[in-house]
Structure 1
Amino acid sequence: MTTLRVVTFNTLFGGHDDFGLGAGDRWHQQIPFLKSLQADVLALQECNFWDLLGTRRLYQTMNALGMTNAHLAYANETTSGHRFHTAIMLSRRVQLAAQGTDRDRYHHVMGWANLIVPGLEGLLELRNLHLDPFDPRNRAREVSPLGVLAAPGRRSLVVGDINAIGLGFPEPDWTSLAAHAQNGQLRLPREEAVSDRDATELLGRAGFLDASHPSGQGTAPTAAFGDGDVPRRQDLILMSPALASALVDYQVHLEPIDKELSDHGAVSATFDLSRLA
């Protein structure tokens, strides 16, 4: 069976304390966890300070995981001075046809790669997202150009931290969320005070399918487990219709939450490419 395993994970400041500047105890514990997932394609978010010293942390992570290719997408600077870079790493089974970075229309950044995968005719198009956590309207703008990737015949994946409720996730009770954080999750004032889902609904209307749905795990949260927060599913693996028939497994991995390695769980999806005949 020709399989491809895709994993997305928000590392929380690259696995280092002090917003990425401090000790890397969490990074050292994230490595064996991520290695156990045996990803062929690994999409990471919040790779803060991985650009320093010739992207040394990027390559330290790549080598520790036994991956053979890594690309760091340099993020815009936020109003607090952070740069939430993202990274795409590939196993030796996957070859690179092209890769790049888009910062112009993104609050943080989008990293992308076109991949050559054994058993797949043509390219697999991958987009690694970390969308705007503060402005629902901007999230909709960020994903709008991605709808074309769901066109007939295109085999594509949109993955990452969407910072919005996933398709089909039940409406949370937002009353426990502090007022200053609600604007990033709710619809605009004068509209009903429910979750903003424009970004995910735009991708869904374009044809993208959520990998959690066939397994019935669309209600499983992946993030926001802290005190006073509202658990929700915002770490997503979305697949184009032309790729959907290959999906054979989907899992949410909460070990990073249980061991306090991150404020996000990891999400994995496995595809059997022989089913795309």
Structure 2
Amino acid sequence: MTVIRVGTFNTLFGGHDGFGLGAGKRWEGQVEFLKGMQPDVLALQECNFWDLLGNRRMYETANALGMGSAFLAYANETTSGHRFHSVIMLSNRIRVVAQGAEQARYHHVMGWAQLRLPGVEGPVELRNLHLDPFDPRSRAREIAPLEVLAAPGRRALVVGDINSIGLGYPEPDWDRLPPHLLNGHLRSPGRAAVSDREAVELLARAGFVDASVPFHKETVATAAFGEGDVPRRQDLILQSPDMAAAQVDYQVHKQTVDRELSDHAAVSADYDLRRLGQAA
């Protein structure tokens, strides 16, 4: 089997109620769903309290999914006391060359890994993002070091909750949101009052390809389905041109929303490794 699946999913407080401290019924449903999705590379966001007791919740999730490895990127504390950790999980088919996390530049954290895919010569770079939800200018700074990953010859995936609407998604009706929630979504005052998409525009200009575009799904919403919110596409899989050459599928899995497991859909993309060049 030469196809691998890459997925990203914002778990909404790690699948637990009470901002991550309560009952885990949603987590149980998430495990059931994600196990059926069968990802080889899984990027998760909002893994609140998954670090406690030696990363117990993270390992419990990885074991329930049958994943081969898991890595938790420890997040900065927010002004309300949350730590929105992110996690990278890998199936037994994927090997880790190196992995780590960076907090200093990021509102939450960025988890990263260099991966070895079966039968493929050279590493694949993975970045798991959960960008600043409040400050568009911060999001542009957060993605700046990633632009070089789109260079010719580099195989890279930048995935996660970008908190910025993907290119090609129709302009939402922001009048549905009260004024105190608008600054995280709109361009700076003095400019047209439309969605801020600078972070994704910069990555696109650097050469990254949105995985939704080849399959004409750039208008499919992935997040913000709660009452009074404005649905939008902000859970993205962005790929360097060399990685995009191997893409064979893209899906938005809205079951997680329909079953009230999260306010985000899961997103996946499939890659045929035969198109990446074989190892000697």
Structures share fold, TM-score greater than 0.5: yes
Displacement of 1:21 after TM fit?
0.5
Tell me which moved more, 179-188 or 84-93.
179-188
Matching of residue 153 in structure 1 with residue 164 in structure 2 = no
Give the aligned partner of residue 172 of structure 2: 172
Give the aligned partner of residue 118 of structure 1: 118
Tell me which moved more, 167-176 or 233-242.
167-176
Structure 2: runs of 5+ lacking an equivalent: none
CA distances 1:86-139 after superposition (whole Å, capped 9, x unpaired): 000000000000000000000000000000001321001000000000000000
Displacement of 1:70 after TM fit?
0.2
1:107-146 equivalences under 5 Å are: 107-146=107-146
Matching of residue 162 in structure 1 with residue 162 in structure 2 = yes
What RMSD over aligned residues (CA atoms) do the two structures have, in Å? 0.7
Give the aligned partner of residue 105 of structure 1: 105
1:4 and 1:178 map into 2 onto residues whose CA distance is: 42
2:119 and 2:36 map into 1 onto residues whose CA distance is: 24
Matching of residue 40 in structure 1 with residue 20 in structure 2 = no
2:178 and 2:109 map into 1 onto residues whose CA distance is: 27
**8 A contact 1:178–1:228 mirrored in 2:** no
2:228 and 2:58 map into 1 onto residues whose CA distance is: 33
1:244 and 1:267 map into 2 onto residues whose CA distance is: 16
2:266 and 2:120 map into 1 onto residues whose CA distance is: 25
1:159 and 1:187 map into 2 onto residues whose CA distance is: 23
Displacement of 1:276 after TM fit?
2.8
Q: Please tell me the residue identity of whatever aligns with 1:171.
A: E
Please report the TM-score for the alignment, with normalisation by the length of structure 2: 0.98
2:180 and 2:271 map into 1 onto residues whose CA distance is: 40
Q: How many residues align?
A: 277
1:1-277 equivalences under 5 Å are: 1-277=1-277
2:184 and 2:151 map into 1 onto residues whose CA distance is: 30
2:276 and 2:85 map into 1 onto residues whose CA distance is: 33
Q: Please tell me the residue identity of whatever aligns with 2:179.
A: A
- 3-state DSSP class of the match of 1:54? helix
1:5 and 1:276 map into 2 onto residues whose CA distance is: 14
Q: Please tell me the residue identity of whatever aligns with 1:222.
A: T
1:9 and 1:30 map into 2 onto residues whose CA distance is: 10
1:80 and 1:119 map into 2 onto residues whose CA distance is: 46
2:80 and 2:255 map into 1 onto residues whose CA distance is: 29
2:262 and 2:207 map into 1 onto residues whose CA distance is: 31
